């Protein structure tokens, strides 16, 4: 029953959007209803917070990969490529101009 409740809560709240206050609020409600004890409530809050952090990290990685894929597909240069070009332009500006004939 407890695992099913955790799954429902996780799905209902969305692990990414779970704040500690919201997780504690849900745990307090379950505690008040007698569905879990104090120790289980504490464990549940920690688990929900951990799942939320893991989901945030996974989302960040997914978004970053998607952005890189779009940039590559659109042939948009990366920051490092732009910096290399800037350095090359600066080097060429400092070089002596060639004589024109």
Of residues 94 and 54, more confidence is placed in 94
Which pLDDT tens digit goes with each residue over 36-74? Answer: 888 988 888 888 888 878 877 887 888 888 888 888 899
Token readout for 83 is 């910096």
Is the per-residue pLDDT at 92 higher than 50?
A: yes
Q: Which residue has the higher pLDDT, 9 or 52?
A: 52
What would the two tokens of residue 91 be?
Answer: 């080097």
Cα-based torsion angle of the residue sequence 87, 89, 95, 100 in order, rounded to the nearest 10 degrees: 170
pLDDT (0 to 100) of residue 3: 61
Are 18 and 49 a contacting pair, CB within 8 Å?
yes
Alpha carbons 2 and 8: distance in angstroms, whole number: 10
Confidence grade of residue 93 (pLDDT, cut at 50, 70, 90): very high
């Amino acid at each position: 029953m407890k695992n099913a409740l955790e799954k429902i809560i996780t799905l209902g709240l969305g692990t990414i959007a779970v704040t500690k206050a919201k997780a504690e609020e849900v745990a307090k409600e379950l505690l008040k209803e007698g569905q879990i004890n104090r120790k289980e409530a504490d464990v549940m809050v920690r688990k929900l917070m951990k799942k939320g952090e893991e989901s945030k990290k996974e989302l960040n990685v997914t978004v970053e990969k998607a952005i890189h894929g779009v940039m590559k597909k659109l042939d948009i240069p990366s920051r490092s490529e732009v910096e290399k070009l800037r350095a090359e332009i600066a080097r060429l500006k400092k070089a002596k101009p060639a004589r024109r004939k």
